[in-house]
Each structure stands twice: as structure tokens, then as C-alpha cells.
Amino acid sequence: MSRPSPAARDAADARPPSAERSSLRQSSLREANLGLVTRTVLAAPEPLTRAGVAAATRMTRATAARLVDELVAGGVLDERDPPPVTGRGRPARPLAGGRRIAALGLQVNVTFLAGRVLTLGGEVLAEHTEPGDLRDSDPAAVLARLDALAARLLDRVPGDVRVIGSGLALPGIVAAGSGDLLVAPNLGWSGIRPADHLRRASRAGLPLRVGNEADLAARAAAEVAPGRPGPLLDFIYLSGDVGLGGAAVLDGTVLTGRHGRAGEIGHVCVDPGGPPCRCGSTGCLEQYAGQAALLTAAGLPGDRPLTELTAAVRAADPAARRAIDRAAWALGVALAGAVNILDIPTVLLGGHLAELADLLVPPLREHLNRRVLSARWAAPEVHAPAGTAAPAATGAALVQLADVVDDPARWLPGEK
């Protein structure tokens, strides 16, 4: 009889005993089921009870109840008060995302700083917005202000709430992995490592994730609460302010690209002979549809409120009307190209574009219907949904909370 080779013996020695392998399989199955229960509860359009979880996941009632008990004890899920009922028996308690787990979302915009503490149940525990003109600002000074804002928000969080991390949204190109800001043209920043300036934004060394402002605002549009998808799964999002950002969302997922730099629609060239842009190119979309560009084209100072532009259009001011029509044309050129390439025929307008939607959407639809190849069969839709200010701060918190949604077992007491 031939003997096993040394390599075979080593492989056999490295293999865990059958009882250990069985334990590992059971542990893996438990973790998978905890995740399934969590995602099922969070995604449900109406609150589920334990019996509803069992039915939705096809688990036995006993298994579903045991897993729910673990998640409730660990703060991942909460039991809510049952609705009033008449008759005998104890009413079942509906389940929701936990209030005792939260994340901090931060946002630097050209015109404001913002922060928001969001729970796994979608409740805002604390928030603050600080206006200001941050063009060509000192990044160290601005991030120090943001860090102080974050510390004030964290101090307002109840003691029984665990803040699992912080997210930061920046209006520029962020390096995937490192979180370094490569460039933010409208802030005048480049080569910044935000984590070096946000010491208090994370408690006890908790992680800080940095992302693009438009990507994170789109995440907030795609996910109305942690783990709960919004009404639209496929859309192109435009984030408007002094400049313009954008993101494409497919099946509820923001398409960031290999290097995390996708979606820079504000710097799509709509006219090579157009005005110079701060990015170094010419004829970029934001030079026609950015807030400052719109106001300037209408003959107004670039820092005036949009209400003045709206009033000028309503008063039939020709320069104001031309500014709106010019912006709608530029948006139509850029968006039609994106729709023709990606086949995502729904557009969501955010920021100042949403504020001007009544004026912009009608001519923009005309341009899209003329330029989008498939418009004869599926006319592009343009929406400007109402929402909270600083949506990217919400998106930054959602990205952190997704860790709990994806792997709740990791966050339970006694787990590594």
C-alpha cells in the first residue's frame, strides 16, 4: 500500500475535524439567516411581525423568532408598540430597524457644511447645517470647522446609541480605497487626506469613509431608509449647486466606476468652443447650468438667491429667460448622451436644479425627446423630488449603516 505524500498529510492535518466543520457550517448558516431576517425587515414596505418574517423568509416560526430575538437584543432591530386590537390574545409586535445603532454623515458643499446622525431605523437623531461661501477656501480650516460640527452632533446622541462610523461627502473626485480627495475644482482643493483633519468625527477610532457628493446624494435618493429601496431603481441623478455633479444608478446601485470617478456630468463638454471651466477644459455643462453660471447669464450677481432669477423669468426678463433656455439646452445635450449610452431614461434633479424645475423641466423634456434615440418608444422622464437638505450627508451615513444591513451578526454582543 502506498503512503500519502507529505503534502497530502499536511493537507489532511490542516483540515478541521468533522465536528469543527459542522460547527463552522452552522455558524455560517446562522450569520446568513441573521442577514436575511435583517434585510427582510428593513426592506418591508409595512412593518413585519415575527410571523411575517417567517412567512417572507420561508423559515419556521421558531427559527424566525429565535433570530429576531437575537437581533432585537443586539439593537439591530426594535420592537414597536402593537396597533390597538379588540378581542382575545396578545397582539403581535411589529419590527423595525434599531434605534440604538447609528452613523454620522458629513458633507462639504461649496455653500455649506452639514452633518446628520442617522439610525438604522431611519430616524435622524441630530443634524446641523452651517452656511458659507467655501470657494477657494483653506481645506484645513474648513475641515476643522466640520470636525467641531461633528463633535457637537455626537455629543447630542443618547448614551444608549452606538455610533458605528462616519461618512464624508465631498464635491470632487475621491480616490477609491484611500479616501483621498484628488481634486474639488469649485472648492479649489486638491491632494487632501480628509481623515487627517477629522480626528473627532469618529469616536474611538471608528472608520471614516469618504465619497463623492453626487454619488452619496444619489444613494440617498435610491435608498429612502437603511436597507429600504426607494420607488426608483434606475435613474441618472444630477446634484446642482455652484457646480454640477452626477451619478448613474442601476438596480438601486450607484455606478462609481473602477476608480470611483464615474458620474462627473458637470464636466461633460457640451460645446468645445464654450467658456473656460475651473477644471481646465472648456464648454463644460456646469458653465451653462451651474447656479453661478445661470445667475451670471441672467445678468444677476453669481451669489444671489435663485428666487431673484425665478422672479426675473416670471417678469418676462429676456436675459433671465435666455439663461434658463441655455441651461435646458446644455442639460439636454449632456443628459441625452448619457441616456443613449446607458439606457436609463429617468432623470432626477437635485439642488438648485430642483428649485428651478418648474422653469427647466418643460424645455429640458423637449430637448431630450429630440435627442434620445429611444424617446419614440419610452420618453425620458424628468423628476425633481422633494427631499431634505444636504442629501449627501444622509447618503454618507447610509453607506456606513450598510455594513450592519449586510452582516448584522458582526454587530451582535459577543461577536468578533
Whole-angstrom distance, CA of residue 325 vs CA of residue 331: 10
- Which residue from 315, 320, 313, 314 is spatially nearest to 299, judged by alpha carbons? 320
Whole-angstrom distance, CA of residue 324 vs CA of residue 357: 10
- Which residue from 62, 96, 101, 121 is spatially nearest to 410, judged by alpha carbons? 101
Question: How would DSSP label each residue in 53-99?
Answer: HHHHHT--HHHHHHHHHHHHHTTSEEEPPPPP--SSSPPPPPEEE-S
Q: Are 178 and 159 in contact (CB under 8 A)?
A: no
Whole-angstrom distance, CA of residue 340 vs CA of residue 116: 36
pLDDT of residue 82: 78
pLDDT in tens, 395-407: 999 999 999 999 9
pLDDT of residue 8: 45
pLDDT of residue 241: 78
Please state the pTM of the whole predicted model.
0.87
Walking along the chain (416 residues) 10 residues at a time, the average pLDDT comes out as 47 51 67 96 94 95 96 95 67 91 96 96 96 93 96 94 95 89 92 90 77 94 94 91 88 88 89 91 94 93 90 95 97 95 93 93 96 93 85 96 95 75
pLDDT of residue 12: 46
Q: Are 222 and 252 in contact (CB under 8 A)?
A: yes
Integer angstrom CA distances of residue 217 from 123, 346, 374, 399:
17, 16, 27, 11
pLDDT of residue 283: 94
Element (H, E) at 320: helix 318-342
What is the SS3 assignment for 161? coil
64 residue type, one letter: A
- Which residue from 365, 331, 346, 343 is spatially nearest to 240, judged by alpha carbons? 331
CA 379 to chain centre: 27
- Which residue from 356, 367, 306 is spatially nearest to 332, judged by alpha carbons? 367
pLDDT in tens, 145-203: 999 999 999 999 999 999 999 999 999 999 988 889 999 988 999 999 998 899 887 66
pLDDT of residue 415: 62
Integer angstrom CA distances of residue 84 from 65, 92, 108, 161, 207:
22, 10, 45, 29, 42
pLDDT of residue 385: 82
150: left (phi over 0), alpha (psi -120 to 50) or beta: alpha
> Cα angle vertex 85, ends 81, 89, to 5°?
90
pLDDT of residue 10: 45
pLDDT of residue 91: 72
